[in-house]
Structure formats: structure tokens, C-alpha cells
Structure 1
Amino acid sequence: MTDQRPPPAPPPMDAANPPGLPEPSAPGAAQAEQRLDAAGPVPPASGWSLRSLEFRAALLLILMAVLLGGSVLYLLWVRGAFEQTQQLYLTADDSDGVTVGMDMTFSGFPVGRVKRIELADQGQVRIQVDVPVKSARWLRVSSVFTLERGLVGAARLRAFTGILDDAPLPPDAERVVLRGDVSAEIPKMVADARDVLQNVNQLTATDSALSSALGEVRTFAQRLNSNKGGLMAAVTGNEADAQRVAQLIDHANQLVQNLDGVVRKADQQVLGKQGLVTDAQGAVRQLNALLQDARQTVAQVDAVLKEVQGVAGNAREATTNLGDLRADVDASLRKIDALITELNRKWPFAPKNKEVTLP
């Protein structure tokens, strides 16, 4: 009768000690082996556990793909890949310092990005700039574009707009870039400095015009500091001419003093207390009084004439009034004659012909 018992299970394999390798002699390995022997054989994994593990791995892969795609989309959005843009073409003689992706700034803020650099048919560099539509309002038809490159740092593409009320810059516009390369100006600056140094050497030479002028100034200063003539000798060049100039100045001072005396005398004769102006003012006042008397006489004549018209029937009384009026008129004429005679005796009213003809 045969034995129907199943064959004994193979001993469990130790992951740390595969078959064919010598047994570890460490005490920890022996203790781990004893624990595995005590726990028994490991049961095989079930189908649900495998499917759950596969689902988790797939979910992790999908999540990683979503995160990677979202990062790419976010970077594209940040870089303006989804913005509506218009093209601007800039032409320059040299593309040194210009790179694809560099920003074009306005007042320090980026308003465009270089997308492409190509060589045009005329041999010039053609730079394509993508300008977002929301930033295109800062660019006008009068805008100026510059490419600046300093001694240190990268080149900068900048836009300047002086008049914001001009018409907007149309799409696909083409403008010329003005270059401002400091390093390109260095040879010219060195040449200018060399010319300046040569001019300074020519000015400071012993036979130069500046040296001669300084010699003349020194000679003038020596004449000025000398005791022979002083300033006049330094100006005229010799002592004799200086003496003549001094004599002329003395004569001029004497003439000025004499003229001052004459002006004082004329002032006293004309504007003094006994001067002609005072006499003329008195004569004018007398004439004014005489004219007032004449005005009163005329008023009396007017009144008498009215009385004559009113009482034309009384001839004797009218004749008496006319006689009085005649006497008043004669008295006024005598006063005028005396005043005219007084005025004729005073200068500057004295006429050449001193006779006065009375009416």
C-alpha cells in the first residue's frame, strides 16, 4: 500500500540568501530565518490585489502626465503663446547682440518679443518682433526704435514714443533700428583724444601763438608795474605818449569845469529868483488879470446892449450908457497897451519893432 501523503513543501527561499550562496554567519540573519520558519510559507497574491496595484500605478501615471501637460500649458501661457499678436519688422545693418526671444521694452516694460532674425535681399538684417495687441497701443507711427549695446551687459531693444496722440502703428509695419553701440564709438573717441592732445602740444610749444601772447602779456605787466608812466605808458608803449595823454586829460577836466560854470550862470539867469522865467511868470499873471477885466467889460457891454434893445425909446439914457461903456473900453485898452509895453521890455518877448499900433 502506497503512501498518499503530499510531498513536503520546499523550504522557503530567503531573498537575502539565494540558492547556491553560502549561508550568512551573522546573528541577525539567523534570527530572521528563524522568524520566517515560524511564520510559515507566504500565501500567493490574489487577483483583486494585482488589479488594485495596476490601477494605482495607472492612476499615478495619468496624474503625472496631467501635471506635466499643465506645466507645459502654463509655461506657454506665461510666455504669451496664446495671446493675439501683431508683427513688427525692424531692419538694421548688424544683428550683433540680437537673439531670438529677447524682449523689446517701452519705458522699461516688455511690449514685444523677437521671434525671428533673417537676412533680407538688400543685405540688411530683418528682425521680426511679435507685439501683443494689448501692448500695441504704446507704439505709434512716430515711434523710434533703438538697439543699445553698452560696454557691460547684453544688448537692449527699446521703443520710444514721444506723441501718444499720433495714429497707431499698423500691423506688419517696417521700421529702421537706430544703433547705439558704445564699443563702436571707442575708436572714434581715441582718435578725437589724439587730435586734442596734438592740439594741446601745438598750443604749448615754445614757438606757438599762445606762447607769444603770454610773452606780450608779461611785457604789458612789466610796463604796468614800472614807475615810468604806469598804465598810460603800458597802453601807449612809451613815456612821451603817456605824458601827452595825461595833458589831454587835464585840459579836458578844465574844459568840463568851465562848462560847469557857464551852466550854473545860465541856470541863475534863466531859473533864478531874478531870472527870465520868473519875470515871464509875473507878466503872464498880469496878462491873466487884464484878460479877466476885459472879460468883465465885455459882459457889461452885453448887458448894456440888452438894455439898449429893451429901452430903445429912451435915446438920452441910452446915449449916457454908451458913453460910460466907451470910457470903460478906453480904460481896458489903455491897460492892455501898458501890459504889452511891459512885455516888450522883457526878453524873450521883445520884438524887433517896438512900436505898437492902436486901433
Structure 2
Amino acid sequence: MTEPTPTAADAPLPSAPPVRNAEFKAALLLVLMFVLVSGSVLYLMYARGAFEATQQLVLLAEDSDGVVVGMDVTFSGFPVGRVRRIELGADGKARVVVDVPRSEAHWLRSTSIFTLERGLVGGAKLRAFTGIPDDPALPDGAARPLLVGDAGAEIPRLLAAAKELLQNLTALTGAESPLDLTLRNVQGVTGKLNGPAGAMGLIAGDDKNSQQLLARANALLLKTDSLIGNADSRVFGRGGIMTDAQATVVQLNALLADTRGSLKKLDAVLVEAQAVGANAKAATADLAPLRADVESNLRKVEQLVNEINRKWPFKREPEIKLP
């Protein structure tokens, strides 16, 4: 068995075989890469709406702080436009040029409102609001004011208002403030109300005046009680006005009963006079005593009524209706 002949260390390596059509393959690779890059660029441009028909909208604002190129203009949370450029107008106002796709332009109307909201956290947001969808469509190249709402700008105003509020609160609750004096007066009034004189001491002032006022009030109450007792005994006691009135009413009832009996007799006589025409003269003779009897009863009733008017002080013009 023969051993292989050792190769020298400095001997050159064998060269690789040449690649067939290397120039063609390299050119084909370059063309393929160019097509891929161009396709990606075209797709990105299509995705960004570069080939879509758009109309222009100009938003006017005092400043464009927070607005960047490429920012979306949203309507109900969906993008309906994109900021294409920001420029400074001749009047010193910022002009935000927005491209609105034709397919989304129907959401924007001539009465739409555009706002720029700057929050404490996060970037600014461009929003569109349309109150009446039936209004005329927004024309191409229309310029609309941009309402800016900056939450950070309100912080200094809130701090100033809070500082003023704290100063007013400190002045209100100070040692010699009107509130402190009012509370002291209320405490003094409460102390007087809880004192021996009570509300009377509060009204009278010092203790001496309150004692005099209490004494006068007690004397007045005693007089009032005595007057009420005398009036009660005079009106409702034995021999009083009510007792006399009750006796008078009893007498009046008796007289009225007599009068009713006389009138019933008179009715009977009249009926008999109408039934018996031949005895009219006798019936007429019977009517005279009855008439005298009725007149006598009526005079008694009149006297009794006068007596009631004299004794009864609550009704000056009593009216008694006879049956």
C-alpha cells in the first residue's frame, strides 16, 4: 500500500471554477432589487393616499404649536384628512394646509368646527365636528378658523385663582375678621339664652332690666288671669249672662208653643168657616177672641225678645221667625 505524497505548505490552492453568466445574473439581481424598492415606495405612497383625489382645507390659528406635518385630522375618531404643510400667513397667523380625500370630504360641511386640543399628556389632536350633516358641503380650498384648547395654558390661571382663594380664606378666618366677630356675638347671645333670664334677658339687655321686665310680665299675666276668671264667672257662672239667657230661651219656647197652639186653633176655625158657609157669623165671633189671644202672645214674645236683647251682649239684632 503506497502512502500519499505530502503537499508543500506554500503550494497554491486550486482555483474555483468560473461562474457562468455572472454579469447577467448580477444585472438581474439589481433589476429585481430596483423593482422591489420601487414597488414598496409605490405601495407606501398608495397607502398614504398619494394617488387619491384630494381637496385642500386651510385652518387658520394664532400659532401652530403642537401641529406637525403628517398629523391626521379626525372626525368621530377616524382620520378624514392629513396635514400637508404649515406656513405663516401675511396676517401673522399660522396656516395649516390639510389634504382631505374626496371619499371622506362628505363628512365636512360648511358649518363644521375644527379644534386643536393640547393636553397635559400626549401630543396635540386636530378634530372636526359637524353638527348638521345636511348643510352644504365644504368647498375646495376653504379657509376655516382653528379653535385652540390648551389645558397647560389654564394652569397659571388656576394657580392664581387658588392663591386668591387662599388669601380670601385666610382673611375670612383671621383673628379680627368679620366672621370671628360674628361667632363671638353668637357665642354671647347663646350664653344669655342659656342664662337664668333666658330670652327675656337677651331682649332686656342687662340683668336689672331683665328682672324688671320679668316682674312686669308676671304682673300683667296675673291681671290677665283675674280678668279671664271674672269674665268666666260673669258669663258662665251662676246668675251670669248664660244662665239668664237659658231661662229666657225656656220662656220663649213656652210662648212659642202657646202661639203654635193658637195658630192651630185659628186654622181649624178657618177650615170650619170655609166648610160651613151658613154659620159664618158665629165663626167670625169665635175669631175675635182667638185674634186677641194671638196678639197677646205676640206681645209677650216681643217683650221677651226685648228682654233677651237687654241681657244678651253677643247679638244686638236677633231675629225670631214665628211659624
The interval holding the TM-score normalised by the smaller chain is 0.5 to 0.7
1:188 paired to 2:157 = yes
1:50 paired to 2:20 = yes
**Displacement after TM superposition at 1:130 (Å):** 0.9
Bigger relative CO (Cα 8 Å, ≥ 6 apart)? 2
Residue of structure 2 equivalent to 1:104: 73
SS in 1 for 2:69: coil
SS in 2 for 1:171: coil
1:169 paired to 2:144 = no
SS in 1 for 2:166: helix
Query: Quick one: percent identity of the two aligned structures?
Result: 49
Shift of the 44–90 alpha-carbon distance from structure 1 to 2, 3 Å rule, reads closer
The unaligned stretches of length 5 or more in structure 1 are 1-13, 15-21, 25-29, 37-41, 259-264, 266-322, 327-344, 355-359
Residue of structure 2 equivalent to 1:81: 50
Task: Choose the corresponding residue for 2:59, options 75, 81, 90.
Answer: 90
Shift of the 226–68 alpha-carbon distance from structure 1 to 2, 3 Å rule, reads same
Tell me which amino acid in the other structure corresponds to 1:222: G
Tell me which amino acid in the other structure corresponds to 1:196: L
Q: Deviations over 1:107-142 (max 9, x none)?
A: 222111111111111111111111112222222222
Task: Choose the corresponding residue for 1:149, options 115, 118, 121.
Answer: 118
**Displacement after TM superposition at 1:65 (Å):** 1.4
- Once residues 149 and 174 of structure 2 are traced to their aligned partners in structure 1, the CA distance between those partners, rounded to angstroms, is 38
SS in 2 for 1:198: helix
Shift of the 234–139 alpha-carbon distance from structure 1 to 2, 3 Å rule, reads farther
- Once residues 63 and 179 of structure 1 are traced to their aligned partners in structure 2, the CA distance between those partners, rounded to angstroms, is 50
Residue of structure 1 equivalent to 2:183: 214
**Displacement after TM superposition at 1:93 (Å):** 0.8
**Displacement after TM superposition at 1:193 (Å):** 1.7
Q: Deviations over 1:200-247 (max 9, x none)?
A: 121122222111111112112212322322x45446756369857899
- Tell me the TM-score normalised to structure 1 length: 0.54
Tell me which amino acid in the other structure corresponds to 1:147: L
Taking only aligned residues, the RMSD between alpha carbons, in angstroms, comes to 4.2
SS in 2 for 1:77: helix
Shift of the 249–169 alpha-carbon distance from structure 1 to 2, 3 Å rule, reads farther
Q: Deviations over 1:153-190 (max 9, x none)?
A: 22111122233333322222211111111222222222
Shift of the 196–59 alpha-carbon distance from structure 1 to 2, 3 Å rule, reads same
**Displacement after TM superposition at 1:60 (Å):** 2.1
Greater Rg by CA: 1
- Tell me the TM-score normalised to structure 2 length: 0.59
* 8 Å CA contact retained: 1:140, 1:166: yes
Structure 1 residue runs of 4 or more that deviate by more than 4 Å after TM superposition: 42-45, 231-238, 240-251
- Once residues 36 and 218 of structure 2 are traced to their aligned partners in structure 1, the CA distance between those partners, rounded to angstroms, is 106
- Once residues 246 and 134 of structure 1 are traced to their aligned partners in structure 2, the CA distance between those partners, rounded to angstroms, is 96
- Once residues 221 and 57 of structure 2 are traced to their aligned partners in structure 1, the CA distance between those partners, rounded to angstroms, is 81
Q: Deviations over 1:261-298 (max 9, x none)?
A: xxxx9xxxxxxxxxxxxxxxxxxxxxxxxxxxxxxxxx
* 8 Å CA contact retained: 1:90, 1:175: yes
Residue of structure 1 equivalent to 2:39: 70
Shift of the 189–58 alpha-carbon distance from structure 1 to 2, 3 Å rule, reads same
SS in 2 for 1:100: coil
Residue of structure 2 equivalent to 1:138: 107
Residue of structure 2 equivalent to 1:127: 96
SS in 2 for 1:123: coil
